[in-house]
Amino acid sequence: MSPLPTFSTMAPEAGLKQAMALSRPDIIETMKQSGLKGRGGAGFPTGMKWNFAAAAQAEEKFVICNADEGEPGTFKDRVILQDHADLVFEGMTIAGKAIGAKEGIVFLRGEYTYLRSQLEAVLDRRRKQKLLGKAILGSDLEFDIRIFMGAGAYICGEETALIEALEGFRGEPRNRPPFPVNTGFLGRPSIVNNVETLASAACILQKGVDWWKATGTEHSTGIKIFSVSGDCGKPGVYEFPMGITVAQLLKEVAGEGAKAVQVGGASGLCIPASQFQRAIAFEDIPTGGSIIVFGQQRDMLDVLHNFLDFFVDESCGQCTPCRLGNRKLLEGVELLKEGKCSMAYLQELCALGDTMQIASKCGLGQSSPSAFLSVVKNFREELMGRTYSHV
Ligand SMILES: Cc1cc2nc3c(=O)[nH]c(=O)nc-3n(C[C@H](O)[C@H](O)[C@H](O)COP(=O)(O)O)c2cc1C
Ligand code: SF4
């Protein structure tokens, strides 16, 4: 049984049939009106992204589904692909019609290779049902989807690195602009959307804008799928309304009494108990859906050590702030653990984190200091007790 009630209640292909009856601008207008924001983490408005790609002049365009899911603590896209692949492919087909693309590509995380045969079977069935290929549902719409296997690098989830990898190059982020909506895969206009975003788009086409906007907040509409792990009684994949507070979420997952919650994975924010009334929404605490609960027994320096170790490993090394900055932050955490970091040096590390957020080339280096900075800010007393002057 799928843990995702909204996706489970969708009628097969009702969103696609609805989209077939609409013009391309009307599909895009529906997406804009829904207020749907990208579920991959950055929260970019989906209707606006589709509009940019639709407006771009080119003979060939692409719809890319980002199923690289590598953020620590995130596993909801795996469940969506496992239980609701049809909805994701339906969303991709709707996006194909909206922007004028004939080809869709799923960039599937290398570690999810075991899902491939199941997904290929769904694609084959959809071709037989005339839901993919030429003359979809008897119309003049042509669209098909293929699967491309990632090779296990976190950075390939970044949309321009993903496109480089699709083209057969090392997965390294590109300079932006130009953006993929204008110059994407093979230099053609391309939209890159998260698995959940595409499934949500199919739901919106089926049930309508008002239904979607009845859930969530003014600036973060609809439902959101969360991956919950860590020190709680009921870890797993959940559907909650956007705008749920951290405290409400903890109650649902039997995580009351937590010391802190990491919202948004290793690159997200570490929220202390004093802020559990804050809302998980783009206007307050943004997230791609990763929630990691830390119990009272957790040492926040162990948490940071773990995250920074990951970023040192996963940095592609192209730009200095990220390549060296993450190493310096990791060394700083090690010094703190050994009681050899002075307060002045801790402040320098915070300034380094600020610089990384501004000067790094892509989202990895721009967000990797977030956990460090939020732990220093929110657990100041705990850390001060570990600095050199206190030993
Ligand atoms: C290092 C890094 C890893 C990322 N990994 C993913 C990922 O696994 N899945 C995803 O959808 N977006 C990921 N993103 C965000 C994508 O670059 C992009 O914003 C997203 O796929 C856009 O889809 P959306 O608008 O539907 O959210 C990552 C970004 C960065 C910087
Ligand atoms: S920020 Fe990090 S991952 Fe991104 S381009 Fe620079 S070195 Fe590579």
What mean pLDDT comes out for the span 153-178?
A: 96
Query: What CATH number did the domain enclosing 42 receive?
Result: 3.40.50.11540
Give the span between the Cα atoms of 356 and 215, in whole angstroms: 36
Specify the pLDDT at position 391: 46
pLDDT at 388: 79
* pLDDT of 209 higher than 70: yes
Based on the fold, state whether residues 304 and 282 are members of the same structural domain.
Answer: no
Q: Tokens in use for 73?
A: 């603590």
Ligand 2 atom with the shortest distance to the CA of 366: 1
Residues 53 and 135 in one domain: yes
Same domain, 257 and 114: no
351 and 332 within one domain: yes
Yes or no: say if 123 and 132 are a contact pair by the CB < 8 Å rule. Answer: yes
Look-up of token digits 């802020």: 275
Among 294, 311, 333, the domain-final residue is 294
pLDDT digits 0-9 by tens, 234-292: 999 999 999 999 999 999 999 999 999 999 999 999 999 999 999 999 999 999 999 99
Check: CB of residue 350 under 8 Å from CB of residue 373. yes
Q: Confirm whether 159 is domain-assigned.
A: yes
Report the alpha-carbon distance of residue 209 to residue 214 in Å, rounded: 9
Mutate to test the pocket of ligand 2, among 175, 312, 318, 328 (most ligand atoms within 8 A of CB): 318
Ligand nearest to the CA of 71: 1
d(CA 216, CA 348): 39
Say yes or no: 163 and 227 in one domain. no
Q: Is the CB of 172 under 6 A from ligand 1?
A: no
- The finding on whether 173 has its CB within 6 A of some atom of ligand 1 is no
Lookup result for tokens 């932006």: 176
17-32 average pLDDT score: 97
* Domain finish residue from 294, 310, 344: 294
Tell whether 118 and 21 lie within a shared domain: yes
Counting Cα atoms < 13 Å in the Cβ hemisphere of 236 gives 11
- The 10s digit of each residue's pLDDT in 190-202 is 999 999 999 999 9
pLDDT-derived band at 383, boundaries 50, 70, 90: confident
| Cα 104 to Cα 190: distance, rounded to the nearest angstrom | 10
Q: Would you mind telling me the total number of residues written for the chain in this entry?
A: 391
User: What is the predicted pLDDT for the residue at 390?
Assistant: 53
Residue 9 falls inside a structural domain: yes
Residue listed under structure tokens 């190059």: 169
Instruction: Return the best residue to mutate from 148, 192, 364 for the ligand 1 pocket (most ligand atoms within 8 A of CB).
Output: 192
Q: Are residues 253 and 140 in the same domain?
A: no
Reduced to 3 states (helix: H, G, I; strand: E, B; else coil), residue 64 is strand
Q: CATH number, domain at 309?
A: 1.20.1440.230
Q: What is the DSSP letter of 265?
A: G
* Mean pLDDT of the residues in the chain: 96
Residue 237's SS3 state is strand
* Residues 247-257 pLDDT 10s: 999 999 999 99
Ligand 1 center to residue 386 CA distance, Å?
A: 35
Mark whether 201 and 235 lie in a shared domain.
no
CA of 366 to the centre of ligand 2 (A): 8
Is position 242 within any domain? yes
- In this structure, are 15 and 113 located in the same domain? yes
Q: Is 40 in the pocket of ligand 1 (CB under 6 A)?
A: yes
Q: Is residue 218 part of a domain?
A: no
Q: Answer with the one of 182, 213, 244 that is the final residue of a domain.
A: 213
The pLDDT value given to residue 145: 98
State the total domains in the chain.
3
In angstroms, the CA 171 to CA 155 distance is: 7
**What mean pLDDT comes out for the span 58-73?**
96
CB of 193 closer than 6 A to ligand 1?
yes
∠ CA 254-369-322, nearest 5°, is: 140
99 found inside a domain: yes
Residues 124 and 182 grouped into a single domain: yes
State the CATH number of the domain containing residue 241: 3.10.20.600
* pLDDT reported for residue 98: 98
Residue 45 within a domain: yes
45: containing domain:
5-213
124 and 13 part of one domain: yes
Atom index in ligand 1 nearest the CA of residue 195 equals 11
Q: Is 342 a domain residue? A: yes
Pick from 355, 360, 368, 370 the residue to mutate for probing ligand 2's pocket: most ligand atoms within 8 Å of its CB. Answer: 360
**Same domain as 290, residue 332:** no
